[in-house]
Amino acid sequence: MMRSPKAMAIACRKPSGEVVVREEVWRSITGRLKFLRWPFFRGTVVFVEAMVNGIQALTFSANQALEEEAEGPLSPWAMTGTILLALGLAVGLFVVAPHLLSLLLGRLFEADLGVRSVGFHVIDGAIKVLFFIGYIAAISLLKDVRRLFMYHGAEHMSIHTFEAREPLTVAFARRHPTLHPRCGTAFLLLVLLISIAFFAVVFPFLPKPAGPGWLAQAAFIGVKVLLLLPIAGCAYELTRLAGKRPDHPLIRPLIWPGLMLQKLTTRKPTDDQIEVALCALESTLKIEAGLESREAA
């Protein structure tokens, strides 16, 4: 999947070997609500819209595969249920479990690790990062996921080629690395790291919810989920800055963890995988150029 300011394309190689491309004009909500373009607001919008685009891409690719297996396309209800289940598991693994484990560690070691303490959020954040890296390392052992990570590498190589203003061919793309400072993986890692400081600052000022202890903890977990949106806004601004000046001595340390993590989430792709990534990129650029020409006229 490739997206520009006004266009989006999804390329997929069917089991038969044919490359199919879905092209469409993309209208961001920021075009209608100008204030959402402001720094820190725009990151939240990008985060939500990227999830929507990702769901669209997954649905399209899954249906292309099912067509040739004569199983028919996935129903909207089936895809919605799958997505909701995945989101629920993600919240459970990366928000609920670290929170509860941090409380448990505080009790086991008889330490003052209430949700208003800095130590609680340092431990909570460290557990999240360990879970995140462990999860990626674990799924990378699966054959289908390794292939997905190869396509991830192909995406980055294609983007590098475009940014270098080189011809969009497999030969030129092969010259570039699979790592990229504006990667979504690096963005997610930044979200986890920023959340440590964000929660440590915000939670001491939150009122204690009334009711039993489990209800209070449930409320605190709910607040964490809601705060992920402004945290995503902060992470986006840092990721955007890193993409503009990746070699700056102050920026390099910020993007280094994300680049190292990409060594897990990207693999060297095959030529046919790079070809698919380039197809998506070329289609997006074609739509974008056509829209600009019509607007200029």
Would you place residue 110 in the very low, low, confident or very high pLDDT band (cuts 50, 70, 90)? confident
| 246 has pLDDT over 80 | no
How far is the CA of 7 from the CAs of 29, 31, 134, 280, 284, in angstroms?
13, 13, 35, 11, 6
| 271 has pLDDT over 80 | yes
pLDDT value at residue 255:
82
Give the mean pLDDT of 45-67: 81
Give the mean pLDDT of 286-292: 89
Residue 98 and residue 88: Cα distance in Å, rounded?
A: 15
Residue 35 and residue 15: Cα distance in Å, rounded?
A: 44
Give the mean pLDDT of 141-166: 95
Residue 199 and residue 243: Cα distance in Å, rounded?
A: 26
Q: Which of 4-13, 30-39, 96-105, 177-186 has the lowest mean pLDDT?
A: 30-39
Return the structure tokens found at 145: 């996921």
243, burial (CB in 10 Å: exposed 0-12, middle 13-18, buried 19+): middle
What is the average pLDDT score of the chain? 87
Q: Helices in 245-270 by DSSP H: which ranges?
A: 252-265
| 275 has pLDDT over 80 | yes
pLDDT value at residue 27:
85
Is 13 in contact with 276 (CB distance < 8 Å)?
yes
